[in-house]
Structure 1
Amino acid sequence: MLKGVSEAFDLAGQAATYLRDRLGEQRIDIALVLGSGWSSGADSLGEPVGELALGDVPGFSKPVVSGHGGKLLLVRTAGGKLAAIFTGRTHFYEGRGVAPVAHGVRTAAAWGATTMVLTNGCGGLNPEWAPGTVVLIKDHINLTGATPLEGANFVDLSEAYSKRLRGVAKEVDGDLPEGVYVQFRGPQYETPAEVRMAGILGGDLVGMSTTLETIAAREAGMEVLGLSLVTNAAAGLSETNLDHAEVLQAGRDAGPRLAALLSAIVGRL
């Protein structure tokens, strides 16, 4: 486990050097983290340039969550940009600390990326957002009690999720709604009371990822685009209980549409 932020940045630098050496590209433009339901679109994001197992890259580990991939793909997008696609992520609830959660973002930054696209599957609080709805994240509430930052490092999060990038996404699909994402620590799903609390606080979406990565990306000076796939109604808002298998199935059902949407957005970045 990493003991401090200096070690975290050193390890990200080692990972970026490893990727440069193995994939032959000195600098990337865009990085994407594909969460639950989004990995099926990885192959349609651009012309393949290279691929390797994330578990072989310094600081990364094999995915422990069903539905998350374990590869890093390098593609050239329709807009001519080099994009690194992380088909897996480390979650805070895995208990390995914050630094591994932020490692992918910091590696992308060390490799030169200036744009970070973060995706996830989540529970929705808005009854009009049926499973399969994609929501642009306009802001977040971090309820993990953690941060990837250390010391007197006062990163401005007034625009954690780029208005410009949200505008690009709406050029592709003008009907995309926007919402506030609330991250709980997990791994247990939220209780109905916790979901009601999230709504009172101003949340529209609940999940277990993304906010810590966003903080690390903003620290690195990257613009962030956040996209949530509503896989289920949040606890207490439907007549059925939550089930991880159903969450994964919702992602599979939405796969072709997600692939087309993400490909069109990335092609414009």
Structure 2
Amino acid sequence: MATYYEQAQEAADALRLQLGGREPKIGLILGSGLGDLGDDVANAVKVPYDELPHFPVSTVEGHAGQFVIGELEGKTVIVMQGRFHYYEGYSMRKVVFPVYVMKLLGVSTLVVTNAAGGMNKSFAAGDLMLISDHINFTGDNPLIGANDPRLGVRFPDMSTAYDAEYRAAARRLAADVRGEDGEPMRLVEGVYCGVSGPTYMTPAELILLARAGGDAVGMSTVGETIAARHAGLRVLGISCITDMAIGEELEPLTHEQVVAVANRTKPKFKSLIRAFVREVEV
């Protein structure tokens, strides 16, 4: 049976055959309601996950379930339209498998995005939050098990999980972003709490997470960032605050509501990501 590294290499080789010699340096993982950015990629090759060896299949509504590879702002990018989640029943190692595939294709910068609930009372639905750090409340870690040094070191440092230079660039670029209404974007910054899901949090759980230092909560991203840092990638993380998850004031929430707010926020989100891709040196 092929090792995890060998499986990632086989998937990367299969994907590389469809790239026509292009080598993406920037990878983007697009969360719920944010996948339309992949439609902006020029000269795109689209590869469904189920056409690649060893890949899981995305089962979440609003996730296209494919790679899009092409040019964005003059640079070759690889975009994940749809990600995998721990709550879908996949192991954490399976969830982060695409991160290692992107690394083996030559990616050195990863932009991870998600839809999240805002636990910081100064936030508002529709804000974008730069992720400054995260707290792993999933109960798992993708690096548990034997380590293959071809993928990364046994004990990767996480003191700078979300790149400080990338965050500074995003803050500066956000000052020039305007929405369709002409209003400037509201870019906040905070700590993302990753939980397993698929249930939304109880009021008591949200109060606990906020007291632990969390500003936003969601069901993705943490494992992907751990894998990216293990593989030596630099990471920019952005959450779309789709609802307010204040434990003391919690109201019922549906996935459809989350996607609806993400859709309204898309123009500013896409403008910020495109500006970052245009400027970042890879």
Instruction: Tell me which stretches of 4 or more aligned residues in structure 1 moved more than 6 Å.
Output: none
Report the Cα offset of residue 61 of structure 1.
Answer: 3.2
Residue of structure 2 in register with 1:84 after alignment: 78
Q: How far apart are the structure 1 equivalents of 2:125 and 2:10?
A: 40
Q: How far apart are the structure 2 equivalents of 1:255 and 1:177?
A: 16
* 1:96-122 deviation line (CA, Å, top 9, x unaligned): 211211111111001010001100001
* Matched length: 263
TM-score normalised to structure 2 length: 0.88
Report the Cα offset of residue 54 of structure 1.
Answer: 2.0
Report the Cα offset of residue 255 of structure 1.
Answer: 2.0
Report the Cα offset of residue 94 of structure 1.
Answer: 1.2
Letter in 2 for 1:18: A
**Residues 34 and 118 of structure 1 are in contact (CA less than 8 Å); yes or no, is this contact kept in structure 2?**
yes
Residue of structure 2 in register with 1:165 after alignment: 166
**Residues 131 and 233 of structure 1 are in contact (CA less than 8 Å); yes or no, is this contact kept in structure 2?**
yes
**Residues 130 and 233 of structure 1 are in contact (CA less than 8 Å); yes or no, is this contact kept in structure 2?**
yes
Aligned with 2:233 (options 207, 222, 228): 222
Q: How far apart are the structure 2 equivalents of 1:38 and 1:197?
A: 28
Q: How far apart are the structure 2 equivalents of 1:151 and 1:235?
A: 39
Residue of structure 2 in register with 1:7 after alignment: 3
Aligned with 1:47 (options 42, 45, 53): 42
Name the CA shift for 1:237/1:115 in 2 (closer, same or farther; >3 Å): farther
**Residues 121 and 246 of structure 2 are in contact (CA less than 8 Å); yes or no, is this contact kept in structure 1?**
no
Name the CA shift for 1:85/1:70 in 2 (closer, same or farther; >3 Å): same
Report the Cα offset of residue 209 of structure 1.
Answer: 0.4
Letter in 1 for 2:99: V
* 1:210-252 deviation line (CA, Å, top 9, x unaligned): 0011000001000001000001111535452111111111111
Q: How far apart are the structure 1 equivalents of 2:29 and 2:195?
A: 19
1:22 is paired with a residue whose SS is: coil
Q: How far apart are the structure 2 equivalents of 1:239 and 1:21?
A: 49
Residue of structure 1 in register with 2:101 after alignment: 107
Report the Cα offset of residue 192 of structure 1.
Answer: 0.9
TM-score normalised to structure 1 length: 0.92
Percent of pairs with identical residues? 38
Q: How far apart are the structure 1 equivalents of 2:250 and 2:224?
A: 33
Aligned with 1:260 (options 252, 260, 271): 271
Report the Cα offset of residue 75 of structure 1.
Answer: 2.0
Letter in 1 for 2:95: V
Between 1:249-258 and 1:196-205, the stretch displaced more is 249-258
1:225 is paired with a residue whose SS is: strand
Q: How far apart are the structure 2 equivalents of 1:63 and 1:173?
A: 31
